[in-house]
Amino acid sequence: MASSIRFVHCADLHLDTPFRGLSHVNDDVARTLNEATFRAWDNIVELAIREQVDFVVVAGDVYDSRDKSLRAQLRFRDGLARLADNRIPSFVAFGNHDPVDGWSNTLEWPQETHFFGTREVDSCEVHRDGTVAATVHGISFAKEDIKDDLAARFAAPEKVIPSIAVLHCNVGSNTGHEPYAPTTIEELSSKGFTYWALGHVHTHHTLRTDGPAIVYPGCSQSRHPNETGAKGCCIVTLHNSQPPDIRFVATDTVRYFRGEVDVTQCSSIDAIRQEITTACTSAAEQAEGRYLVARLSLTGHTPLQRELARGNAITELAESIRTDLFAREQWVWLERLSLMTRAPYDIEQLRTQQDFAGDIVRAYTSLLEADPQEMKRLKEELERDVTQSMLSRLVERVTEEEFRQLIEKAMHQTLDLVLEED
């Protein structure tokens, strides 16, 4: 048996994803975003070749939908072919976004690529120097809505060599993702595999480091502003008698950033403009040369509140900064600038006043201080109220944290109007 074995573990490529949630982008940005998932896949392939890994594992959601575009299939196939040309086999499972019942196998695929089936767990051998160096086991989604624990179908590996299990699933009822193929750490740990190569969760997360290692690599490229931070894959080295070495490698070409800019100390619009530029520049440096899409909120209390809130002032401010940032070689696109500031009044003092302003603060803060379940209920009520209107899709996309921010913004805007009249 080989002393160690190395492989790339990636998942959730979502090739050819239509980018969502962006309100203002120009043609150049749109082209870059539309190509980003493909570039990320290219980066994974190049990484595997450069690192001379033994094989590549793809743990589901290769495509963004069951109606796989031909462009996505061709680009995926071309990447697998490059791996095969470099004697790197690949093992692919399909998940809830690209279940096998929507699969049309009309292309010729490399012989070195194995697609896991749906009826039972497939087991494959990885050979090196004439011996079996590892085994790879996996199963794909037969349809989108799988609620069975697919992990229960895995049997303990027969050979006492590194064994990798590949599965697209939700471990521990992760509330941030749909409960497809739900399972538990206990179920996965009981099977006797060396490493569980998982997919479905878009954030890199190591659930267990050894005995077995259980890992989500996250998606290879963010698809919308709520997926912030680095995205990529894992290079995994399995040793005979040591814990697995799991190294995350960023593969994204566009990174999303969401942040707040406190303008309390700013005495002019120019000072605010500089603070915004500084925040974007700092985020771009952390993105390490990648393109950056930024969504910022201005916060704090400022005597410039009336000027910022007047007409299209905040939109025009964003446009002036956007032009300068986009001119850089590695551009930054200020996609949205939100006004969450307030005039310099004391909320706690207003809260104690027995007047209209005090009533407003008490009414809004009772909502803001509600527990998460109550906030969720309020959002669901709003969704029901607007079901038949054009706002329904917009409300559905609002996260609970964004919903809370909207309530707070409404409170400050109401107070600005009331106190201005006084």
Per-residue pLDDT of 180-208, as tens digits, reads: 889 999 999 999 999 999 999 999 999 99
pLDDT exceeds cutoff 80 at 85:
yes
Residues of 39-63 as b/e, b for ≥16 C-beta within 10 angstroms? bbbbbbbebbbebebbbbbbbbbbb
Q: Which of 238, 194, 213, 196 is nearest to 53 (CA)?
A: 238
Q: Report domain extents, the chain.
A: 4-250, 254-421
Question: Residue 182 corresponds to which tokens in the numbers above?
Answer: 């739900």
Preceding amide of 212 cis, omega within 30: yes
Question: Residue 50 corresponds to which tokens in the numbers above?
Answer: 């450069």
Residue that wins the pLDDT comparison between 122 and 416: 122
Residue that wins the pLDDT comparison between 291 and 380: 291
Phi and psi torsions of 93, nearest 5°? -110, 150
With beta carbons less than 8 A apart as the criterion, state whether 38 and 15 touch.
yes
Q: Please, what is the angle between helix 400-421 and helix 372-385, to 10°? A: 80
Rounded CA separation 151/149 (Å)? 5
Question: Residue 26 corresponds to which tokens in the numbers above?
Answer: 């120009």
Question: Residue 374 corresponds to which tokens in the numbers above?
Answer: 């109550």
The least confident of 180-189, 289-298, 374-383 is 374-383
Assign 3-class secondary structure to 61-76: CCECCCCCCHHHHHHH
Tell me the HSE value of 230 on the side-chain side, using a 13 A CA sphere: 15
Instruction: Specify whether the backbone of 52 is left (phi greater than 0), alpha (psi in -120 to 50) or beta.
Output: left
Q: What is the pLDDT averaged over residues 266-279?
A: 97
The least confident of 167-176, 257-266, 291-300, 361-370 is 167-176
Compute the C-alpha angle 172/173/175, nearest 5°.
130
What does the DSSP assignment read for 327-367?
Answer: TSSS-EEEEEEEE--B-S--HHHHHH-SSHHHHHHHHHHHH
pLDDT exceeds cutoff 90 at 113:
yes
What does the DSSP assignment read for 66-117?
Answer: SS--HHHHHHHHHHHHHHHHTT--EEEE--SSS-GGG----S---TTEEE--
pLDDT category at 21 given cuts 50, 70, 90 is: low
Q: Under CATH, which architecture does the 4-250 domain have?
A: 4-Layer Sandwich (3.60)
Cβ contacts of residue 166 below 8 Å, gap of 6+?
57, 59, 91, 93, 116, 136, 137, 138, 139, 197
pLDDT exceeds cutoff 70 at 389:
no
Residue that wins the pLDDT comparison between 329 and 175: 329
pTM for the model: 0.84
Rounded CA separation 117/124 (Å)? 12
Q: Which of 106, 174, 176, 180 is nearest to 142 (CA)?
A: 180
